[in-house]
Structure 1
């Protein structure tokens, strides 16, 4: 396998780990606090999730020889923000996390679900991917408008290098981000707002407690959101890039790692969608058979970030969120253009793809489930109507 390793996969893997951790860790922290976690328990949850993401990504990518990118459930964390602390405290939330993990394992072992995911039409999957990453692709330009002195150097570095050597454009943007951080952002004070910033890993074991109320209010919604907003789109992203993953085993493994992380305060890990596009795309390597190393490197990066969760959280929180999103957006411009072309290429599926794309890109959330899922549902319904109309004609 070492012969498949490349500098290109190394760069993309490191960038994926950075973007995956830095772009949403604040949501995870806030979500865990929302269900009653102390500062130590919240930092421990971030650590457990990040390490679980890393180990899971490494094992699955090496096992399948596919770029299986893993992420924590950001929509799930956002759901926790509004869920409120269950009666009895954080231990009952942890019990709900464990129940959710078991449900994900069961869903992975339930074969009809895997067949349903595998049957997603390619134009709809491409349209969904384009809609998912569209918002981040706006971020570089939003950053420039918000603060040209911080945002413009990142874009200029990417554009100049991309014009001559596209391979190194994203690493150049990342280097510009670090330079902007050093020269343009105040690095003094207590940036994490009280979050533990010691170099030692913040470990807090939480013994789960179970209640029907926590299961209904936390476990079930967390399960639905994680499957619909992360796992299913994650499979679709791999399919878009030419891979044929077996959804069931992947879901089951992520459920197992979610169960382990729950004992240390983590809510759920799952297949990634946005960062999956980074590892599975041509920027990771021209040869699809060698891109899995990008996910392996990203996994190693997640483990390092997890072990340094307190210190990394403190440093990354210094950066304006829009700058982190800007780097991610530049890395996904290629993925967006490719998926958009593929989505609208065939005239007979163009309307259905447009419905999927627009609903996904709108950012709507119905019943706590993101637009990516509803976009696929609406696009599939539109595709069925179009096929029925053609038969009648």
Structure 2
């Protein structure tokens, strides 16, 4: 049991520190205070922990959940206007996930969404983060360039550790420089959804789509690749219900773990596949422990993530950005709609109070309808 348990702990710690800066940056951009961001992080850790433990024990397969990193990054481009609107979008995205899992036809429809649009959306969402290391390397080279060098070395020899290590290093340097925020208790802070239906839909629908395409489907693919028949409907409904529970406390969408899921589900979790469910249980237990330091981590980042932490998060997301661009531009006949989606989302525009994520999907879909010839039914 030791090897699957160790894989669960390592995968969870890697995922947590590899994406926590992105999560906090997204919540802050959506209007969350430091206390609300700490509440959201703690709520996600608790719900993910309990869900991973219960699902893994019930199904006897490694069911490892995580928060939606692309969804958190989306909040930077979405301009929800207020955190209440963002919470309403979280609830809407959770409801859409539950309905998708409950209605088989919708699950099949998600598979038909063109990868060009979802890839362009995800790449545009990640662009501002991936540009942060470039900007900060010019503004404060003596601080940022050593982090970049460390990232290059680790990416060459220990690629899985590169993201978490540079983010941890950035947090430590921020504390030593005295620019960190105050330590906060991981206390729950309830935030009621706003009544801004336009804003909720404009953020909630792209959040649902980018989470589904960017992490939920890859998470199912990881299970399938390791010869576990993926319980698709169960996973979608369970993550949707968990998201609905975490949303009023500031939690963004939940989904199956994809990148770190490969650590916790694959051969790293032991040769005996019948015992790999232990990694899901260990992952859940680790999240429950990490919930206790949510206030410390959120407090260090503060009301606005320090520039060095943003730069480290950008480095950690370069791999995801490359995968999104590759997916968007894979087919020659849909490259122009994908590029339009990417450019509009990456521009960061806001029209009529609606952010670029929505307008990018709309522009890309329109371009796809105009430029792509119709195929016989």
Q: 1:66 Cα shift?
A: 7.0
Name the residue aligned to 1:186: 178
Asked which structure has the greater CA Rg, the reply is: 1
CA distance, structure 1, for counterparts of residue 152 and residue 2 of structure 2? 32
Say which of 225, 228, 235 aligns to 2:203.
225
CA–CA distance in structure 1, aligned partners of residues 336 and 29 of structure 2: 39
Counterpart check, 1:378 vs 2:363: yes
Quote the residue 1:88 is aligned against. none
Change (3 A) 1:380 1:306: same
306-315 or 293-302, larger mean C-alpha shift: 293-302
Aligned to 1:270: 253
Match of 2:111 among 118, 121, 127: 118
**Hey, what's the Cα distance between the residues in 1 that align with 2:110 and 2:267?**
21
Distance 2:36 2:124 in 1: 35
- Distance in 2, matches of 1:373 and 1:30, equals 16
Provide the rounded CA distance (Å) in 2 between the counterparts of 1:18 and 1:99.
Answer: 27
Count the aligned residue pairs. Answer: 356
Shift of residue 277, structure 1, vs aligned partner: 6.8
Runs of 5+ unmatched residues, structure 2: 225-229, 270-275
Q: Is the 8 A contact 1:53 1:71 kept in 2?
A: no
Contact 1:230 1:272 in 2 (8 A): no
Q: CA RMSD in A?
A: 4.8
Pick one of 212, 217, 222 that aligns with 1:235: 212
| 1:258–1:269 Cα contact (<8 Å) kept | yes
Moved more, 138-147 or 11-20: 11-20
> Under a length normalisation based on structure 1, what TM-score does the superposition of the two structures give?
0.67
Q: 1:348 to 1:94 in 2, by over 3 A?
A: closer
User: Which residue of structure 2 aligns with residue 325 of structure 1?
Assistant: 310
Give the secondary-structure state (helix, strand or coil) at the position aligned to 1:120.
coil
Alignment of 1:1-393 (within 5 A): 13-25=12-24, 28=27, 44=39, 47-56=42-51, 68-71=65-68, 74=72, 75=75, 79=80, 81=82, 105-106=98-99, 108-183=101-176, 185-186=177-178, 191-192=181-182, 197-198=184-185, 201-203=186-188, 216-217=195-196, 221-222=199-200, 225-226=203-204, 228-238=205-215, 239=217, 242=221, 249-261=234-246, 265-271=248-254, 278-279=259-260, 302-317=287-302, 320-365=305-350, 370-388=355-373
**Cα gap change, 1:298 to 1:108, in 2 (>3 Å):** same
Shift of 1:157: 0.8
Within 2, Cα distance between the matches of 1:170 and 1:304?
21
Structure 1 distance, partners of 2:285, 2:79, is 26
Unaligned runs of 5+ in 1: 85-92
Deviations 1:231-280 (A, max 9, x none): 21112124468557777654432342244346xx515541469xx67546
Relative to 1, partners in 2 of residues 1:2 and 1:377: Cα closer, same or farther, differing over 3 Å? farther
